Structure 1
């Protein structure tokens, strides 16, 4: 599965020093939830992500609060791509098999 979307960068208020996310849109989250995946911690799905010129592998996690999957945005990516809170982030997300 491959999807591209744009969503704002937001900070998780419980851990403001380091936890930043982009919420995966509802239609893409629904597609992720429908995938037959092996059991993983917290219902996570392994993905390859591209933001700007940066590509990395991580996992997206279902969020009850967001009613969607959320994509963690590590500091190295935020710094390299000059991402700021509330700004839209263009994301390409692709599931990976392990």
Structure 2
């Protein structure tokens, strides 16, 4: 994993409630520099993520000039954390074409 950071989990109640992490500014600066080579639409950036012993593939989404990382319910349950908790994330940007088109990756 290329990047490591800690962030607080927050709930965003959009059309469906979901939990997110906001990478710190220095990580977002790196992501912006990589975005052109890896984004596949709407500014989404494919990544491989690990929290604790759980690893999965997802995409960072742009929000207010930064990025947010969605965190699956299965990951939160397996690693025993929720909204308001601070977690440590290891993450790698996946090059365009290096990730399965259907988003499949390691099972959670």
The TM-score normalised by the length of structure 2 is 0.80
Give the Cα–Cα distance (whole angstroms) in 2 for the partners of residues 56 and 14 of structure 1.
23
Structure 1 segments unaligned to the other structure (5+ residues)? none
Give the Cα–Cα distance (whole angstroms) in 1 for the partners of residues 9 and 39 of structure 2.
28
Q: Deviations over 1:32-77 (max 9, x none)?
A: 101132552220111100000000011111111xx42100001000
From 62, 74, 77, the counterpart of 1:76: 74
Where in structure 2 are the equivalents of 1:58-77 lying within 5 Å? 58-64=58-64, 67-77=65-75
The TM-score normalised by the length of structure 1 is 0.87
SS at match of 2:84: coil
RMSD, aligned α-carbons = 1.6
Q: How many aligned positions are there? A: 95
Structure 2 segments unaligned to the other structure (5+ residues)? 99-108
Give the Cα–Cα distance (whole angstroms) in 1 for the partners of residues 55 and 31 of structure 2.
19
Distance 1:39 1:90, change over 3 A: closer
